[in-house]
Amino acid sequence: MGQKLVYVPECHSTSSFLNELNNQSQLPEGTVIITDHQTAGRGQRGNVWEAEAGKNLMFSFLLRPSFLPPAAQFNLNMCISLAVAAVMQQEVPQSVRLKWPNDIFVNDKKIGGILIENQIQANTITASCVGIGLNVNQERFSHPRAASLHNFSQLTHDRSEVFEQLLKKLEDEYLKLRAGATDLKQRYLKILYKHQTSGRFASAEGEFTGTISDVDDHGRLCVEVHGAMRRYLFKEITFLE
Ligand code: BTN
């Protein structure tokens, strides 16, 4: 991971840039693009990813997880999320949690997000662009639910040091996934935000109270509502609190 590393002081989006480069000429697995500032950062659900220039970490890397059946792609999701959460946990004393599917949370605030874009051909994941945005030293946010490592540690974190740790951990977890790791879900559930806790949600059926009990093999969130299990794909459910 990072043997081919491209640093650009500014770009539209490291994920868009990586996808463009890879479409021009096949990039080697593990290629990383990192920037200090994005002018058109992309988040999940078509959202914009905003981050102050020079204070945070924004990078994307290319994987070729052809060993993973597309139906099991949530395993990659868990693998990446676990690596990022572990490194973030070294930086703050508070507990780092993963909000399904892969937001990085501390105390009900989002400190980072992951955007995974898979290219699938003939039932094989031929390329996976993993974009990671982490709020590191930024002090103020316009969004009330956003925060940074600095907000929790009161420290100025060395971005290069955190980035180096991330690349190591991401490679480590990815190699475990490729070797057939079977403990991913158990580790993911252990740090899942609001796992086994009653909360308010909204779906096409309206608002309801439920308890997150599991994540199934398709990566669907399993929520227990009045004794019955409901399963939701990404975009089918919103956390209301
Ligand atoms: C989310 O939580 O919505 C996912 C955010 C992902 C943001 C990162 S920043 C680096 C990479 N480039 C992008 O345009 N997006 C991802």
User: Is the full-model pTM beyond 0.85?
Assistant: yes
Task: Concatenate the DSSP letters of all residues of 32-76 into one string.
Answer: EEEEEEESS-B-GGG-B----TTTSEEEEEEE--TTS-GGGTHHH
Q: Helix, strand, or coil here: 14?
A: helix
Pair type for strands 5-11 and 32-38: parallel
Query: Which residues are CB-neighbours of 24 under 8 A, at least 6 positions away?
Result: none
pLDDT tens digits, the chain, 241 residues: what are they? 999 999 999 999 999 999 999 999 999 999 999 999 999 999 999 999 999 999 999 999 999 999 999 999 999 999 999 999 999 999 999 999 999 999 999 999 999 999 999 999 999 999 999 999 999 999 999 999 999 999 999 999 999 999 999 999 999 999 999 999 999 999 999 999 999 999 999 999 999 999 999 999 999 999 999 999 999 999 999 999 7
Residues with Cβ within 6 A of ligand 1? 13-15, 38, 41-44, 47, 49, 58-60, 103, 113-115, 131-133
Neighbouring CB atoms inside 10 A of 217's CB total 10
Backbone angles phi, psi at 5, to 5 degrees: -125, 125
Q: How many C-beta atoms lie closer than 10 Å to residue 40's C-beta?
A: 10
CA distance 90 to 172: 16
* Best residue for ligand 1 mutational test, from 49, 60, 109, 166 (most atoms within 8 Å of Cβ): 49
**CA geometry: angle 193, 199, 202, nearest 5 deg:** 105
> Measured in angstroms, how far is the CA atom of residue 52 from the centroid of ligand 1?
13
Overall size of the chain counted in residues:
241
Is residue 222 within 8 A of residue 216, CB to CB? The reply is: yes
What is the distance in A from the centroid of ligand 1 to the CA of 133?
Answer: 5
Best residue among 12, 17, 55, 58 to mutate for probing ligand 1's pocket (most ligand atoms within 8 Å of CB) is 58
